[in-house]
A and B are shown apart, each in its own frame.
Chain A
């Protein structure tokens, strides 16, 4: 933790005035003077990310806010958003962690290709994802027509359809995050468990999983946040019906067409929820030990 003395001393010599202040600010952090060429773009980036959010707060209709927030329609959309994002995260965990394990711990032909395909929804425009889901799971979809014929299940226009759409865009975040943690994790613990007679699944459950928990948690938060903000795939695949498929982002978009003030109020609510959740989870889950 103690900064390298020689370089620190040299810095102090060259950056007169700034030196002591910086040293105090960066006490124990090993930070000595921030080059202007990095500091300026960094501040621009920070402003670029924060100014729109601040503008939202500045322009928010605070007088009518209580009225907006007590409207049942807002709560309906918010509850649906939270429920669906959580369900999508749960599905992503159940299916995504094993997929991440498969990608990180096994060798099979075409693994690189599979890995690339898994990340495809990350770069795909969500609306394209929604269209693809319709083609696959719609009432006349490649798979969906059989779901409909055999089980009478039709996913479009249902809450389950929202969860499917959100899972489609959110799961890759979790898979990538967990796979990275798995690759970084020390395999010797698993090997030790194996030499002690544990089966590969037991080793995964008892050794690997606790080891990669921070990565799983971080991936879950990412996936949850992505699902909460999901718009394109949802409105394309699941449509828009209050209480059933109208999540907050859809409500914001449609309010914007007729009542921009309501749209801003809804946006502030979504912003507050996102901040609250990320802040609440940050210390407990996402900091690596």
Chain B
């Protein structure tokens, strides 16, 4: 998984650590000072010197293309660093982090999944929104059914796929449909946004509600149709340094890079909205 040594401490929220410290004094002094050494080097951000070593970033699947590109640029800008990614569903990544996976940075596709990590006391500081994503209607190339609005999707002969409401894109679709006051019966609630998009790419479905970035990433295989109600269901993407970051210095540098003008330009090119 990582080149770092095994996690060095038992996993406790910060307040619990403080409480234990008060009660047990000497017993926890060792572990808290061990914590302090690394946190001190990283936490304040005043640590001198260039970032180096490996940064491990857990990022939402929808960030795959843009973060991979950002990682390469970051490595070029900071020789001696290496950015490794674990892309996946935000829920799974959050579960991994609270379960003790050694990561430096978490970039999630929804505040809800980020909250799982902050509630567990695994985030260092407050997460910040670095991009937003909005829904778009994906249709096959040339838009053969002439879809131009969300309302067009409710036509009886149209095969529409949505994401299941258990996953973020499905929840966003529900919000947008509610905002428009529309009832839409899809042919399928897909398990994630990519499989919803795939059904359109294979022309099995006539339309799907997916993210702008997914439409952009699919190139000319699908055509995107923007709709005003999407503004009601904009997804915030929060990013944070993790409490147990093995390489906090480089991690903070990476987060700063993602939020920099250059980083934001790469993300905007992928279809993300800047906050």
Partner of A245, one of B89, B164, B188, B205: B188
Tell whether A156 is near chain B: CB-to-CB under 8 Å.
Answer: yes
B166 touches A254 (CB 8 A): yes
Tell whether A138 is near chain B: CB-to-CB under 8 Å.
Answer: yes
| Chain A residues whose C-beta falls within 8 Å of the C-beta of B164 in the assembled complex | 240, 254, 257
Contact residues of A: prevailing secondary structure: loop
Please, how many angstroms separate the alpha-carbon atoms of A254 and B188 in the complex?
13
Shortest CB distance B192–A (Å): 9
With A240-B164, A254-B164, A257-B164 known as contacts, the answer to whether A235 contacts B191 (CB < 8 A) is: yes
Q: Which of A221-265 contact B (CB under 8 A)?
A: 235-236, 238-242, 245-246, 253-255, 257-259
Number of interface residues of B (CB under 8 A): 20
Q: Which of B182-226 contact A (CB under 8 A)?
A: 186-191, 195, 199, 202-205
B166 touches A255 (CB 8 A): yes
With A239-B161, A254-B164, A257-B166 known as contacts, the answer to whether A140 contacts B204 (CB < 8 A) is: yes
Tell whether A218 is near chain B: CB-to-CB under 8 Å.
Answer: no
Q: Which of A10-53 contact B (CB under 8 A)?
A: none
Tell whether B120 is near chain A: CB-to-CB under 8 Å.
Answer: no
B186 touches A241 (CB 8 A): yes
Contact residues of B: prevailing secondary structure: loop
**B159, B187, B199: most-surrounded residue (chain A CB, <10 A):** B187
Shortest CB distance A122–B (Å): 24
| Chain B residues whose C-beta falls within 8 Å of the C-beta of A157 in the assembled complex | 159, 187-188, 204-205
B186 touches A253 (CB 8 A): no
Please, how many angstroms separate the alpha-carbon atoms of A235 and B191 in the complex?
8
Please, how many angstroms separate the alpha-carbon atoms of A139 and B189 in the complex?
18
Tell whether B91 is near chain A: CB-to-CB under 8 Å.
Answer: yes
Partner-B contacts on A (CB < 8 A) = 134, 138-140, 156-157, 235-236, 238-242, 245-246, 253-255, 257-259
10 extra interface residue pairs, beta carbon distance < 8 Å, beyond A138-B204, A257-B91: A138-B203, A156-B204, A241-B187, A241-B188, A241-B189, A254-B189, A255-B166, A257-B89, A258-B166, A259-B166
Partner-A contacts on B (CB < 8 A) = 89, 91, 159, 161, 164-167, 186-191, 195, 199, 202-205
A-B contact pairs, 15 of them (CB 8 A): A138-B203, A156-B187, A157-B187, A239-B187, A239-B188, A239-B199, A240-B189, A240-B190, A241-B186, A241-B189, A245-B188, A254-B166, A255-B166, A258-B166, A259-B166
